[in-house]
Amino acid sequence: MSPVEEFATGLRTTRVRRTPEGRHEWWHGPGTDQAGPPAAPLAKAVPARTAGARLVVPRASEGGLSYLADGPYSAAAWLRDPRPAVRLLLAHALAGAGRALRDLHAGAVPDGADVPPALARLRAFLDRSAEGAADGPRTPATARNAPATAPHPPAVARLREHAVRAWGAARLGRLRSWCAELTEPGGAVLVHGFASLGALVPPLRRGPVALLTGEDLGAARPELDLGWLLGDLAELDWALPVPAHPDGPELPRVLLDAYGAGADRELTGRAAVVRVAAHMRDFAAYCGWSDELADYTAFIADLIDEEGRRAVLGGATP
């Protein structure tokens, strides 16, 4: 199999290869800052059949995990294409993701399900930031998922300083409370944990939409998964705006309508803010410092003040 695409961060190496059957293998291996291969211990809890998208679980392969999909490009890559037909493709993929996540959330939470790793990493970052902002008592982070030190400590420390200045104690407190709200045991379900546009793979020609699922499974409120996708949409619209066709579908609405009733829209908006903040923290930790991170702290400050409403509404708030 010849590679179609390959990219890596300190967290993960991703390689996409075309199979002899014309499908595509998405291989996830350890990044340069990871000591061991990725794992998906809760993958057996994922339902084999769902409405909409297929929740594709991995198999061990070549020191990593392999997922089989029918496309070589993620929804995040397709989103940069302004053609109306691509907008319809993305709407189809997001609708499929919404229905599949609904089925995933209906299943029982397996033993051993913990706070999803990305959320645990952000909680640890916010707790350390709150120490400098004198925001009150710390929320204990999940020890298994939150490493004591980041792979790029100078970049994370610099980002923490920017965040404390840009957000202040009040905004830090709100973000931390939203993280806690998303993991309240009483409302926890089995969640994907990282339902991002990068894990959503539309078919290139024929086949089901794939949502690569397994490495980040955990227990949290269902709004976490919806907010993760909506946060991606809001972030990419801010960072790399692509003119949308005036008659094209509103992608956030497509996702939420497909998921259906039961999700708290306010908490979903807050989860979208959490997603953008988690991405910012992980970029500093696994890619190093970039001056764009200072812009992110300002953008996230606006999102916190809006409680993520623009992510749910699909545009800037009035």
pLDDT in tens, 142-175: 434 444 456 788 999 999 999 999 999 999 999 9
pLDDT tens per residue across span 167-215 = 999 999 999 999 999 999 889 999 999 999 999 999 998 899 999 999 9
Query: What is the share, in percent, of the chain residues with pLDDT greater than 90?
Result: 79
What is the C-alpha end-to-end distance of the chain, expressed in Å?
Answer: 50
User: Got the DSSP string for the chain?
Assistant: --EEEEEE-SSEEEEEEE-TTS-EEEEEEE-TT-SS----TTGGGS-S--SSSEEEPPEEETTEEEEEES-SS-HHHHTT---HHHHHHHHHHHHHHHHHHHHHHTSPPPTT--S-HHHHHHHHHHHHHHHHHT-SSPPPPPTTTS-SS-SSHHHHHHHHHHHHHHHHHHHHHHHHHHHHHHT-GGG-EEE-S---GGGEE--SSSS--EEE-STT-EEE-THHHHHHHHHHHHHHHHHS--PPPTTS--HHHHHHHHH-TTS-HHHHHHHHHHHHHHHHHHHHHHH---THHHHHHHHHHHHHHHTTHHHHHTS---
Residue 115 has pLDDT above 60, yes or no: yes
The fraction of the chain above a pLDDT of 70, given in percent, is 91
pLDDT digits (tens, 9 = 90+) for 261-299: 999 999 999 999 999 999 999 999 999 999 999 999 999
pLDDT at 318: 40
Q: What is the CA radius of gyration of the chain?
A: 18
Predicted confidence band of residue 136 (pLDDT cuts 50, 70, 90):
very low
Residue 100 scores a pLDDT above 60: yes
**Which whole number is the average pLDDT over 233-241?**
91
- The model's pTM is 0.92
The answer to whether residue 249 scores a pLDDT higher than 60 is yes
Contact status, residue 117 vs residue 216, Cβ threshold 8 Å? yes
pLDDT category, 247, cuts 50, 70, 90? confident
What's residue 144's pLDDT? Answer: 41
Instruction: Say what angle helices 153-182 and 265-287 make with each other, to 10 degrees.
Output: 160
Amino acid 27: pLDDT? 97
Which of 33-47, 48-62, 187-201, 241-255 shows the lowest per-residue confidence on average (mean pLDDT)? 241-255
Q: Which two tokens stand for residue 246?
A: 């005036």
Residue 25: pLDDT band by 50, 70, 90 thresholds?
A: very high
Q: Position 218: which residue type?
A: G
Tell me what the pLDDT averaged over the chain comes to: 91
